[in-house]
Amino acid sequence: MKKHFLLCILAAMLSPIMYAQTDLSKAELPAIEDSLATLWNQISTSPSGDKKIELNAKVIPVLVQGLRKENSFRYPFKKVQENISILYPADSTFRIITWLIKTGEQDQMGPGAPSEKITSKSHYLYNGAIQMNNSEKLELYPLRDSTNLITFPEDKVLTNENWYGSVYYGIAEKEHRGKKYYNLFGWKNSTPISTKKVMDVLHFENGKPTFGAPIIDVVRPEDDNDGIKCRFILEYSNKGAVSLNYHEDKDMIIYDHVAPEQEEGKGMYHGYLPDGTYEGFEFKNGIWNHVAKVYTVQNSDILENPTQPDSAKQGKKKKKKRKKKKRRKG
């Protein structure tokens, strides 16, 4: 009951915000930042999940107080950068602020018999907001984590009111027929045995944020969960480290190919690990098209994938033959 009550308070604090900005003194915003740093220190040292939720509810109005400051849009909040992710797109029309709270233990179903349960210490509450670049007033859209209520999240178009919570670490902007898509790359941990990397698509409809768009061509040969998706979720064993991000130099999204350790583990993503190869997406005609194997050949070195395409192998063989001939002539 206590936890439910605290969540209700949190939801009330996250009501849509559209306030006139106040011209605080220059000293006030750093003081607000200090208050946030103090709260985060208390959160990180608190052993109680309920207490962390209570402290998190205090973080939100303090943060909003700072954001209401005139010209707050560029304030970096450096003292809490380890706790809060702040990302700007290339066009600087908004910034997205996300963070998580580790709320304590939660029982999850284990990988064995249906009755098997394991205790998790990786239950997280995701938080966030989108601050628009508006010099006249604070235009802030709170992000309400609805992860537990969303079924088949790859197929859903969502709003800030029912957000598939993640902590974002990357953003890439694309445009098609005058519409801008902001591709967000995030981290998510919602089970005790697996981790997720998420590629979401943020766009604005009538000025309001919308998450997810049917523009990602997902290919998964190992099961039937493929096709055009609204977001891409890469789930894998929490024993592994997996990358998923946009690479500007290649103009591609590149991610680790993950596979089960055993053949019988197909479709059980909590057992998937990276195998040293890479897949990707290329943006063409408004769709992120799947690239089964990503090769980057530069100075005869493979940067992203240890396996070379036949053409690259043949090219290297020809170079070696030419070098041998020159040596013989010398």
The per-residue pLDDT for 23 is 52
The per-residue pLDDT for 13 is 46
Q: How far is CA 262 from CA 176, 225, 240, 277, in A?
A: 41, 20, 15, 17
What letter would DSSP give residue 176? E
User: Which pLDDT band holds residue 306 (cuts at 50, 70, 90)?
Assistant: very low
Cα separation, 51 vs 53, whole angstroms? 5
What mean pLDDT is predicted for residues 269-286? 94
With H, G, I as helix, E, B as strand and everything else as coil, classify residue 207.
coil
What mean pLDDT is predicted for residues 228-234? 97
Q: 95: which residues sit within 8 A by CB, 6+ positions away?
A: 73, 86, 87, 88, 130, 131, 133
% of the chain at pLDDT higher than 70: 75
Query: Which residue in the block uniquely carries the two structure tokens 């509450």?
Result: 125
% of the chain at pLDDT higher than 90: 62
**pLDDT greater than 80 at residue 274:** yes
Cα 199 to the center of its chain, rounded Å:
6
Q: Using CA atoms in the order 306, 309, 310, 316, what is the torsion angle rounded to 10 degrees?
A: -60
- pLDDT greater at residue 260 or residue 121: 260
What mean pLDDT is predicted for residues 12-40? 72
What mean pLDDT is predicted for residues 217-221? 89
pLDDT tens-digit series, residues 74-132: 999 999 999 999 999 999 999 999 999 988 654 444 333 333 333 344 488 999 999 99
| Domain residue limits, the chain | 84-318
Q: With both helix axes pointing from N to C terminus, report the angle between 49-67 and 2-13 in degrees, rounded to the nearest 10.
A: 10
With H, G, I as helix, E, B as strand and everything else as coil, classify residue 173.
strand
pLDDT tens-digit series, residues 45-60: 998 899 999 999 999 9
pTM of the model: 0.79
Cα 158 to the center of its chain, rounded Å:
15
Q: What is the mean pLDDT of the chain?
A: 81
The per-residue pLDDT for 21 is 54
Q: 295: which residues sit within 8 A by CB, 6+ positions away?
A: 302, 304, 305, 307, 308, 309, 312
The per-residue pLDDT for 18 is 57
**pLDDT greater than 60 at residue 5:** no
